[in-house]
């Protein structure tokens, strides 16, 4: 499921790049959130015994906050994949887990050890290398879209940890999609691009692939531990890099590969550290 999720995520970015200027950013958000809204409402209602049961929550404010963050994060996410090589944009998404570690102490008061901090710093060094921040002459300012999306995504992950103790997965996904969809409506009114058959088909394929990617990931985490699944998430780069090279003639820079290796290594080191700490605690 995680590998299938990674493939769907890569295909989502491919359909987005193929769409190009045939659809506005507002339309991308509208179709993507609308597709998730419809699928989650249908399947979630069937699983929970009706729409009313799925919508029931005592933490509406936190749902609305998470949805608002998602609206901005998705906007930045899709801009990064529109403007950057697929391999680089994909690599920047991996930094989200590193941002999570920096946020858990101020937001959740979770203890961060020295080993975790060192691994995180190594990961951020990988981000700097992949993004080319160390060389202002070749720096692409569009990397800020990817970093902003990763940072906001990290905040959403921390909020989701809190929500997951009391809320259903379907409820979390539904409210997030609802807020993004509602925020995209006024944007679409001011930035609507006439859609031809090809553009409409690409928007629908993009939205479906993105929704399936999110759903498959959630289902995978429901069936296995996060530490066991995490390495498979990086398989998205194995799909995105060849597709970007083949379809869009994207060059795969050595800095992207080097940075990606450091980011992946630091994340895996963090997972190994957590697993070791749990093992020691159990023994």
Render 88-102 in DSSP notation, one character per residue.
HHHHHHTTHHHHHHH
- What are the pLDDT digits (tens) for 224-249? 665 566 667 778 888 888 899 899 98
Of the two residues 227 and 89, the one the predictor is more confident about is 89
What pLDDT does residue 227 have? 54
- Which pLDDT does position 32 carry in this prediction? 94
Percent of the chain scoring above 90 in pLDDT: 30
Instruction: Kindly report the number of other CB atoms within 10 A of residue 182's CB atom.
Output: 14
Element (H, E) at 245: helix 235-248
Structure tokens at 22: 């045939």
Provide the pLDDT confidence category of residue 163 given band limits of 50, 70 and 90: confident
- Structural element, H or E, at residue 210: helix 197-223
If you count DSSP H runs as helices and E runs as strands, how many of each does the chain have, helices first?
13, 0
Q: What CA–CA distance (Å, rounded) separates 39 from 60? A: 21
Q: What is the pLDDT of residue 225?
A: 61
For residue range 268-282, what is the model confidence (pLDDT) as tens digits?
777 777 667 767 766
In angstroms and rounded to an integer, the radius of gyration of the C-alpha atoms of the chain is: 19
Q: What is the tally of structural domains in the chain?
A: 1
Position 195 scores a pLDDT of 87
Alpha-carbon distance of 28 to 11, in angstroms, equals 15
pLDDT of residue 266: 80
Q: How far apart are CA 259 and CA 231, in angstroms?
A: 16
Q: How far is CA 102 from CA 24, 99, 116, 119, in A?
A: 34, 5, 10, 12
Q: What is the pLDDT of residues 104-160, one digit of tens each?
A: 666 655 666 777 777 777 877 888 787 777 666 667 788 899 999 999 988 887 787
> In this predicted structure, what is the pLDDT of residue 223?
72
Question: What range defines the domain where residue 25 resides?
Answer: 2-282
Which residue do the tokens 């630091």 mark?
Answer: 266
Confidence band, pLDDT 50/70/90 cuts, at residue 44: confident
Give pLDDT, residue 124: 79
Q: Return left, alpha or beta for 110; rule: phi > 0 is left, psi -120 to 50 is alpha, else beta.
A: beta
- pLDDT band with cut points at 50, 70 and 90 for residue 28: very high
Is the pLDDT confidence value at 203 over 60?
yes
Higher pLDDT, residue 257 or 183: 183
Confidence at residue 230, expressed as pLDDT on a 0 to 100 scale: 63
Q: Measure the CA angle with vertex 97, ends 180 and 230; round to 5°.
A: 105
Query: Are the CB atoms for 159 and 62 separated by under 8 Å?
Result: yes
Ranking 33-47, 51-65, 103-117, 249-263 by mean pLDDT, the lowest is 103-117
Mean pLDDT value of segment 243-272 = 83
Q: How far is CA 283 from the centre of its chain?
A: 35
| Residue 252 near residue 208, CB atoms below 8 Å | no
Q: What is the mean pLDDT of the chain?
A: 83
Q: Say if residue 177's pLDDT is above 70.
A: yes
- What confidence score (pLDDT) does residue 76 get? 95
Top-ranked range on mean pLDDT: pick from 74-78, 95-99, 253-257: 74-78
Query: Residues 106, 110, 112, 116: is their CA dihedral positive or negative?
Result: negative
CA atoms within 13 A on the CB side of 260: 22
Contacts with 105 (C-beta within 8 Å, 6 or more apart), sequence order: 111, 112
pLDDT above 70 (res 24): yes
For the whole model, what pTM was predicted? 0.83
């Amino acid at each position: 499921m995680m590998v299938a999720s990674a493939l769907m995520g890569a295909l989502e970015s491919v359909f987005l790049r193929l769409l190009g200027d045939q659809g506005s950013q507002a339309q991308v958000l509208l179709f993507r959130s609308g597709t998730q809204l419809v699928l989650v409402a249908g399947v979630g209602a069937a699983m929970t015994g009706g729409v009313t049961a799925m919508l029931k929550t005592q933490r509406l404010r936190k749902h609305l906050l998470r949805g608002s963050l998602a609206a901005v994060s998705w906007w930045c996410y899709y801009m990064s994949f529109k403007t950057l090589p697929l391999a680089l944009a994909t690599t920047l998404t991996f930094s989200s887990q590193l941002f999570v570690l920096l946020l858990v102490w101020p937001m959740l008061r979770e203890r961060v050890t020295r080993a975790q901090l060192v691994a995180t710093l190594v990961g951020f060094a990988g981000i700097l290398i992949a993004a080319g921040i160390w060389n202002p002459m070749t720096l692409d300012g569009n990397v800020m879209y990817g970093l902003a999306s990763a940072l906001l995504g990290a905040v959403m992950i921390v909020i989701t940890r809190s929500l997951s103790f009391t809320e259903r997965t379907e409820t979390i996904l539904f409210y997030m999609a609802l807020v993004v969809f509602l925020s995209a409506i006024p944007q679409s009114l001011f930035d609507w691009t006439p859609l031809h058959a090809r553009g409409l088909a690409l928007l629908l394929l993009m939205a479906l692939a993105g929704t399936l990617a999110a759903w498959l990931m959630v289902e995978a985490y429901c069936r296995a531990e996060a530490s066991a699944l995490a390495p498979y998430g990086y398989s998205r780069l194995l799909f995105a890099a060849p597709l970007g090279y083949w379809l869009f003639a994207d060059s795969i820079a050595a800095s992207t590969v080097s940075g990606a290796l450091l980011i992946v290594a630091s994340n895996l080191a963090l997972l190994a550290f957590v697993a070791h700490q749990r093992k020691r605690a159990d023994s």
